Amino acid sequence: MSESAVNSGRLEATATHGVTPALHHQFEDIEQQREAGNFGMWIFLATEMLFFGAIFTAYIMYRVMYYPGFEAGSRGLEASFGATMTFVLLASSFTMAMSVHAAHAGKRRMLLGFLFATMLLGIIFLGLKFTEYTHKWHEQLVPGLNFHPAAESLRGAPEHAVELFMCFYFFMTGLHALHMIIGIGLLGVMAILAWQGKISPENYNRVEAAGLYWHFVDIIWIYLFPLLYLVGGRY
């Protein structure tokens, strides 16, 4: 096939979808620009991994030092809430992957549907998490603000060790919730762009980059769930 025929096919595809990707001057072609955008997101996620890695390292160190307190604190959490939130996030990973597929295929209605489904699942996750926070407040297990645990909740562990665990619990899950809120906002922007017809198979990398961020946040929770909710196992 001649080069002119290939270019003609590309122009026809672009005209069909009604979107002409803007090629910035520093790139040779659209494909290079798309790869650079994805690479930039990977670099950002690498810095996030270093950040969360430091937090996980600190958690593991204190868990080894104060294991009885961490086990008692973990048994004070609601494992059913954690399992439900895990299921919700796994479902959101699926809908996010389908959003990327729909964007690549140029199916705008499907893209919008899966983006809204992903955002809805994210909101459900946050609702469950803040409901659990409310439970911890009523149980007086909020360090620094309302920490007066009942003797049975300590399970014989030192109070300061249980409080340390709860500090990690609120900080780590709160930080994750903040990333979820940012992710929902990002998907909202993608939905607006899709509604305006500004996302097509030629520039679907915007949705792909947003998907990378969303999957990263989901993976962080996959580690948080056993680290916080399953210390010592459940019997």
pTM here is 0.80
Which residues lie across from 147 on neighbouring strands?
141
Closest CA to 114 of 94, 95, 93: 95
Percent of the chain with pLDDT over 90: 50
Helices and strands in the chain: count of H runs, count of E runs: 8, 2
Phi then psi for residue 233, to 5 deg, are 80, 175
Dihedral angle computed from the Cα positions of residues 22, 25, 29 and 30, in that order, rounded to the nearest 10 degrees? -30
Which architecture characterizes domain 79-235 according to CATH? Up-down Bundle (1.20)
pLDDT at 88: 96
Of 158 and 22, which is predicted with more confidence?
158
Distance CA(192)–CA(112), nearest Å, equals 9
Asked if residue 228 lies in contact with residue 74, where contact means CB atoms within 8 angstroms, the answer is: yes
Asked if residue 144 lies in contact with residue 199, where contact means CB atoms within 8 angstroms, the answer is: no
Phi then psi for residue 112, to 5 deg, are -60, -45
Which residues lie across from 210 on neighbouring strands?
none
Distance CA(32)–CA(190), nearest Å, equals 21
pLDDT at 37: 57
pLDDT at 155: 74
Of 27 and 149, which is predicted with more confidence?
149
